[in-house]
Chain A
Amino acid sequence: MNRHNRLGWRRKGFIFAFLAPTLIAFVIFYLYPIVTVFVTSFCKWDYTNINAPEFFGIKNMWDNYKYIFHTYPYFWEALKNSSLWALLGVAIQIPIATLIALAFSRKMKGVKLIRNIYIIPNMISTAAMGMIFLQLYSPLYGVVNPIIKLFNKDFKDSILLLEGPAFWAMTAAYIFFTGTTTLMILGNIMAVPEEVREAARLDGASGLKQDWYITIPMIKETLRMVCILAATGGFLLYNEVYFLTKGAAGTYSISYVIRELAITSPRTQFGRANTVAVVQILAGMLIIVIINMLFNLTWKRPTKGGKRS
Chain B
Amino acid sequence: MRKNGQKVSKNRMKKDSKATRIVTVICLCWAAFVALVPLVWLLLSSFKKDPMARPGFMLPESIYLEGYISTFRDLHVMRYFGNSLLISFVSVVISIVMISMSAYVVARLDFKGKKLVNVMLYSTMFIPATALTYPVYNLVNKLHLYDTRGALILIYSCSGLAVSFFVIKNYYMNIPKEMEDAARIDGCGYVKTWQKVIFPMARPGIMTAGVLAFLNNWNEYYWASLVLIDREKLTVPALLSTFTTSFRTNYNGLFSAMVVIILPPVILYCVFSKFFVEALSGGAVKG
Residues on A facing B (Cβ under 8 Å): 10-12, 14-15, 18-19, 21-23, 25-26, 28-30, 32-34, 36-37, 99-100, 102-103, 106, 108, 110-112, 114-121, 123-129, 131-136, 140-143, 145-147, 176-177, 179-180, 183-184, 186-188, 190-191, 201, 203-204, 206-209, 232, 235-236, 238-239, 242-243, 254-255, 258-259, 262-263, 270, 273-274, 277-278, 280-281, 284-285, 288, 309
Out of A28, A132, A262, name the residue touching B134 (CB < 8 Å). A262
Q: Is the CB of B237 within 8 A of A127?
A: yes
The reply to whether B109 and A11 contact each other, CB–CB distance below 8 Å, is: yes
Complex-state Cα separation, A124 to B111, whole angstroms: 42
> Contacts A111-B28, A238-B222; is A187 near B283 (CB within 8 Å)?
yes
B37 cross-chain contacts in A, Cβ below 8 A: 143
Interface window among B7-15, B66-74, B174-182: B7-15
Interface status of B226 (Cβ within 8 A of chain A): yes
Interface readout for B10-52 with A: 1 if CB under 8 Å, 0 if not?
1011001101110110011011101111110110010000011
On chain A, the residues within 8 Å of B218 by CB distance are 125
- Is the C-beta of B266 less than 8 angstroms from some C-beta in chain A? yes
Q: Are A262 and B127 in contact (CB under 8 A)?
A: no
Is the Cβ of A187 less than 8 Å from the Cβ of B282? yes
Please name 12 further chain A to chain B contacts, defined as beta carbons within 8 Å, in addition to the given A30-B132, A121-B38, A136-B41, sorted by A numbering. Answer: A15-B105, A18-B101, A119-B276, A141-B52, A179-B35, A190-B285, A207-B17, A236-B128, A255-B128, A280-B131, A285-B126, A309-B9
Bitwise, B116-152 to A at CB < 8 A (1) or not (0) is 0100110110111111111111110000000000000
Asked if A131 meets B243 with Cβ closer than 8 Å, knowing A21-B98, A118-B35, the reply is yes
Which residues does chain A contribute within 8 Å of B36, judged by CB atoms? 117
Given A116-B277, A119-B276, A135-B255, residue A177 in contact with residue B137 (CB < 8 A): no
- Chain B contacts for A119, CB-based, 8 A: 35, 269, 273, 276-277, 280
Which residues of the partner chain A approach B226 to less than 8 Å between Cβ atoms?
259, 263
Asked whether, in the complex, the Cβ of B30 is within 8 Å of the Cβ of A100, the reply is yes
The distance in angstroms between the C-alpha atoms of A20 and B238, with both chains bound, is 32
Q: How far is the CA of A59 from the CA of B12 in the complex (A)?
A: 71
B97 to chain A, nearest CB (A): 8
How many angstroms between the C-alpha atoms of A179 and B276 in the bound complex?
A: 12
Q: Which residues of B contact A263 (CB under 8 A)?
A: 133-134, 137, 226
Asked whether A184 and B130 contact (CB < 8 A) given A22-B161, A143-B41, A176-B34, the answer is no
A132 to chain B: closest residue by CB: B38
Looking at chain B, what size class is its interface with the partner chain?
A: 35 or more
Q: Counting CB contacts under 8 A, is B240 at the interface?
A: yes
Query: With the chains together, A194 CA to B109 CA distance in Å?
Result: 35
Residue of B nearest to A110 (CB): B28
Decide if A125 touches B38 in the complex (CB within 8 Å).
no
Alpha-carbon distance A40/B206, docked complex (angstroms):
38
With a CB–CB cut-off of 8 A, which chain A residues contact B265?
123-124
Chain B hits for A133, CB < 8 A = 38
Residue in B13, B38, B95, B159 whose Cβ sees the most chain A Cβ within 10 Å: B38
Given A32-B139, A118-B32, A204-B13: A238 and B161 interface contact (C-beta under 8 Å): no
Neighbour of B190 across the interface among A11, A28, A274, A288, CB < 8 A: A11
* Contact code string B255-284 (vs A, CB < 8 Å = 1, else 0): 100100110011011100100110011111
Does B185 sit at the interface, judged by CB under 8 A?
no
B136: chain A residues within 8 A (beta carbon): 29, 33
Give CA–CA (A61, B104) in the complex, Å.
44
- Contact (Cβ within 8 A) B55 A25: no
Cα-based distance from A285 to B161 in the complex (angstroms): 18
Determine if A191 and B134 form an interchain contact, defined as CB atoms under 8 angstroms apart.
Answer: no
CB closest residue in chain A, given B109: A15
Listed by A's residue number, 11 A-B pairs whose Cβ atoms lie within 8 Å are: A18-B101, A25-B158, A30-B161, A36-B134, A118-B35, A177-B35, A201-B13, A207-B19, A255-B128, A281-B127, A284-B128
Give the distance in Å from the alpha carbon of A267 to the alpha carbon of B39 in the complex: 40
Across the interface, B139 reaches (CB within 8 A) one of A28, A125, A140, namely: A28
A21 contact set on B, CB distance < 8 A? 98, 101-102
- B residues 146-196 near A (Cβ < 8 Å) are 154-155, 157-159, 161, 165, 189-191, 194
* Cross-chain contact A120 with B39 (CB below 8 angstroms): yes
Q: With A22-B99, A125-B219, A191-B284 in contact, is A141–B55 under 8 Å at CB?
A: yes
> Which residue of chain B lies nearest to A29 when distances are taken between CB atoms in the complex?
B158
Q: Within 8 Å of chain A (Cβ to Cβ): is B236?
A: yes
Inter-chain contact A242/B130, CB cutoff 8 Å: no
Q: B57 at the A/B interface (Cβ < 8 Å)?
A: yes
Supposing A114-B32, A143-B56 touch, asked if A18 and B266 sit within 8 A by C-beta, the answer is: no
Measured CA separation A140–B17 after assembly (Å): 46
- Are B102 and A18 interface neighbours, CB within 8 A? yes
A252 to B48, CA, bound (A): 34
